[in-house]
Amino acid sequence: MTLQGHLTTTNHNRDVVGMRYIYPVISRRAGGVSIGINLNVNNACNWRCIYCNVPNLTRGSPPPIELDVLEQELREFLNDVLHGDFMQRHVHEGDRQLKDIAFSGNGEPTSAKEFPQAIVLVEKILRDFGLLGSLKVRLITNGSLMDKPQILDSMRHLAKCNGEVWFKVDAGSKEGIARINDVTLNPQSHIQRLENCAKACPTFIQTCMFALDGAPPSEEDIAAYLALISQVKNVIQGVHLYGLARLSLQAEASRLSRLPPEWLETMGQRIRDLGITVYVSP
Ligand code: SF4
């Protein structure tokens, strides 16, 4: 589940450490290093967002996760970051701090059968490194599986590990969701999943907005989005509103363009007017 402007497994990132599941994201904007965990090594997702920047994206779920490889890679990389020379070799002096660990891959992380075990593993490793409770563990998800009891159990577990969920809501109507995320989804069911998730673990909504064929989201689309998210305003931590930070690698790429920062700021204010905390990243 990729997020515009956040973690993605670009070749550059992969090349830095050459691992299968772990990749670093060095961000000047965030002022530090994030450790990304990509469980979807086959670039398969159960959604197909038209802005998605995963190359050769296919529908599906990941192959079995080799938990021993994940463990070895995470330990090795944490060692390099905390006790080795990773920071000196790759990170600008002012940005040499570890910001978080994020499940954010080339597909939906919770669709991995071993996702619950992966959380257990991260908890164990963070405890061994003395980071449990101090380092944030984020899950970047499209939220589509947040009605499964075992996934919600994992969210409760994640909450105990200083966890946080970023849950995707890009549109408020069935048509809008089909147009942007290329899935058939009842918005009411999606918001119910969001509520389930937010009750289990601190949860932010993440929303990507852009112009399609030169036109920004219509007033009708915006009204549907605001009406939908206002239903959960008392259980979410806030909204991260993103513009099109990276190039889409989907067939619709040429139809997408960035919205002016002022447009996104105005949109952010409309969400704030509902009484919701908003972070805008144009
Ligand atoms: S949820 Fe959307 S943006 Fe995230 S990996 Fe799947 S298709 Fe890409």
Cα(57) to centroid(ligand 1), Å? 9
163: left (phi over 0), alpha (psi -120 to 50) or beta: beta
Please tell me whether residue 33 adopts helix, strand or coil conformation: strand
pLDDT in tens, 81-113: 999 999 999 888 888 999 999 999 899 999 999
| Mean pLDDT value of segment 182-204 | 98
For the CA atoms of 15, 88, 32, 99, the dihedral, rounded to the nearest 10 degrees, stands at 90
C-alpha to C-alpha distance for 196 and 217, rounded to whole angstroms: 28
**Burial class of residue 151 (count of CB atoms within 10 Å of its CB; 0-12, 13-18, 19+):** buried
2 CB within 6 A, ligand 1: yes
**106 CA distance to ligand 1 centroid (A)?**
7
Q: Is 1 in the pocket of ligand 1 (CB under 6 A)?
A: yes
- pLDDT tens sequence across 251-273: 999 999 999 999 999 999 999 99
Higher pLDDT residue, 10 or 210? Answer: 210
Is residue 10 predicted with pLDDT exceeding 90?
Answer: no
| pLDDT (tens digit per residue) in 109-162 | 999 999 999 999 999 999 999 999 999 999 999 999 999 999 999 999 999 999
The residue whose C-alpha atom lies closest to atom 7 belonging to ligand 1 is 48
Q: Which residue has better confidence, 4 or 253?
A: 253
Nearest of 180, 178, 168 to residue 204 by alpha carbon: 168
Q: In this model, does residue 42 exceed pLDDT 90?
A: yes
pLDDT band at 4 (very low <50, low <70, confident <90, very high): very low
Report the alpha-carbon distance of residue 231 to residue 250 in Å, rounded: 31
Provide the whole-model pTM: 0.94
Percentage of residues in the chain having pLDDT higher than 70: 94
- At residue 6 the predicted structure's pLDDT band, cuts being 50, 70 and 90, is very low
211-212 and 256-257 beta bridge pairing: antiparallel
pLDDT tops 70 at residue 15: no
Q: What is the pLDDT of residues 208-260, one digit of tens each?
A: 999 999 999 999 999 999 999 999 999 999 999 999 988 999 999 999 999 99
Evaluate whether 146 touches 197 at the Cβ level (below 8 Å): yes
Q: How many CA atoms lie within 13 A of 5 on its CB side?
A: 18
CB of 51 closer than 8 Å to CB of 256: yes
Nearest residue by C-alpha to atom 8 in ligand 1: 52
Quick check: CB of 180 below 6 Å from ligand 1? no
List the Cα angle 88/89/90 in 5-degree steps.
100
Question: Distance between terminal CA atoms of the chain?
Answer: 19
With b for 16 or more beta-carbon neighbours within 10 A and e for fewer, the 195-222 pattern comes to bbbbebbbbbbbbbbbbbeeebbeeebb
pLDDT for res 5 = 38
Residue 46 has pLDDT above 80, yes or no: yes
Which among 180, 277, 170, 281 has a CA at the least distance from the CA of 225?
170
Contact in structure between 89 and 77 (CB atoms under 8 Å):
no
**246 secondary structure, DSSP code:** S
Distance between Cα 4 and ligand 1 center (Å): 10
Q: What is the pLDDT of residue 13?
A: 54
